[in-house]
């Protein structure tokens, strides 16, 4: 009997996705729970697994947009498992060749998650890439170098009889008026296209305005340094700055509820929970996992949540439900060195707080010029839902909490 593989519901407001890549081919035997393909949506990419074991028959091509509930494959669960496995298993000579010095194994277990993702998206055979890592392992740099070589016209590539390293990019002479070799053109990934569309949607459908302030980080830095050793011993995780800002944002949202809101049609919806989205940059794009009920969590709980999201985002293991339902967002451009910027709203939310780099600057304190570690803060908000006074009040409240963080440290 053939079992239909359908696109499952993957979140509110998501009606379709793109079959980014098939992990198994038609005719392959697949085990129950094995990843069949990667589905990309405007939220995140997720692996769709087989519900039962059997022989796979694809019904949708890579890159094809599919609707929720659409049948994209069939699995014949009556097929002889042993025969199907034998047809796809490598023979002894292939195994031996994969282990010979100077040759690479294409097995997924030898590749890091980041390398596997790049190879899958670019449809590259890892056996064609010269690995420079330990034991001939293929690294991200090797994949990038391979792609650069492939982008150079064949007339400009190094031939086999030339004594130059294989799979390394050749410098291309840039001549006036000659575009060959001066740029690389490739299709945007479905996820990147969705992210781009979401950014444009934010600018076109909200009345975005940004207000700025600055805060003195001296007290937070001193208390963090003082508490760090005990905090790590008690909780097994480092105390960072993000947990302070999440706490400060929650206190400010309580003081200015209008920012914890959204507009839907003619309705103004005020949220009474504090589900804070934390923007996390990955190789494939920006994702915003949500810390649920942040107002009820300790600094240690918040640090664990943030660390877990960062790790899973880098490994491509963020789930759809991790990204849904946020009421407010915090974005930390300071980790990349940003001194000041205007964060873009994450619709339908009405506010986003931008953190920036900490820099020592001369400031006036009690009539004296002193050097203090300062951070610029930015709040972008939807002016349809939030008045200017409310936005400024919110940012001042965040500043006050960071500059006087004793109350935020009571749960240490």
Region at 134 (left for phi over 0; alpha for psi -120 to 50; beta for the rest): beta
Per the CB < 8 A criterion, the answer to whether 129 and 105 are in contact is: no
Beta-bridge partner residues of 331? 354
Residue 91: how many CB atoms within 10 A of its CB? 9
Beta-bridge partner residues of 6? 71
Q: Which residues are catalytic?
A: 383, 387
Per the CB < 8 A criterion, the answer to whether 341 and 378 are in contact is: yes
DSSP-derived secondary structure for 10-34: -STT--EEEEEEESS-TT-EE-TT-
Distance between CA atoms of residues 10 and 69, nearest Å: 10
Residue 126: how many CB atoms within 10 A of its CB? 21
Q: Is 364 helix (H, G, I), strand (E, B) or coil?
A: strand
What would the two tokens of residue 318 be?
Answer: 């963020």
Distance between CA atoms of residues 358 and 408, nearest Å: 20
49's enclosing H/E stretch is strand 45-49
């Amino acid at each position: 009997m053939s079992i239909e593989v359908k696109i499952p519901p993957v979140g509110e407001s998501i009606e379709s996705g793109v079959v980014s890549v098939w992990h198994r081919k038609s005719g392959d035997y697949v085990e129950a729970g094995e990843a069949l393909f990667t589905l990309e949506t405007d939220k995140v990419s997720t692996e769709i697994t087989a519900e039962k074991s059997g022989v796979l028959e694809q019904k949708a091509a890579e890159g094809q947009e599919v609707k929720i509930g659409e049948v994209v494959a069939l699995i014949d669960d009556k097929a002889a498992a042993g025969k199907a496995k034998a047809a796809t298993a490598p023979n002894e000579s292939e195994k031996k060749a994969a282990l010979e010095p100077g040759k690479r194994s294409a097995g997924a277990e030898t590749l890091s998650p980041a390398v596997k993702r790049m190879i899958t998206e670019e449809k590259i055979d890892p056996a064609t890439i010269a690995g420079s890592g330990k034991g001939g392992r293929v690294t991200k740099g090797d994949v990038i170098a391979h792609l650069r070589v492939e982008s150079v016209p064949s007339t400009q590539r190094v031939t086999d009889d030339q004594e130059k390293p294989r799979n390394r990019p050749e410098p291309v002479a840039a001549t006036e008026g000659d575009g060959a070799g001066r740029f690389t053109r490739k299709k945007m990934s479905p996820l990147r296209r969705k992210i781009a569309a979401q950014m444009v949607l934010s600018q076109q459908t909200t009345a975005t305005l940004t207000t700025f302030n600055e805060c003195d980080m001296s007290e937070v830095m001193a208390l963090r340094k003082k508490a760090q050793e005990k905090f790590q011993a008690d909780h097994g995780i480092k105390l960072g700055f993000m947990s302070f800002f999440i706490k400060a944002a929650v206190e400010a949202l309580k003081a200015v509820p209008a920012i914890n809101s959204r507009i839907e049609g003619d309705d103004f919806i005020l949220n009474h929970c504090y589900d804070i989205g934390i923007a996390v940059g990955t190789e494939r794009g920006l994702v915003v996992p949500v810390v649920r009920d942040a107002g009820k969590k300790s600094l240690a709980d918040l640090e664990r949540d943030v660390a877990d999201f960062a790790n899973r985002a880098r490994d491509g293991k963020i789930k759809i439900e991790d990204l849904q339902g946020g009421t407010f967002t915090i974005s930390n451009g300071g980790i990349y060195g940003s001194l000041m910027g205007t964060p873009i709203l994450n619709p339908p939310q009405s506010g986003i707080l931008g953190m920036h780099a900490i820099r020592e600057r001369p400031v006036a304190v009690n009539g004296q010029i002193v050097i203090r570690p300062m951070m610029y803060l930015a709040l972008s908000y939807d002016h349809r839902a939030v008045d200017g006074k409310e936005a400024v009040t919110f940012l001042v409240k965040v500043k006050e909490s960071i500059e006087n963080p004793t109350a935020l440290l009571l749960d240490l």
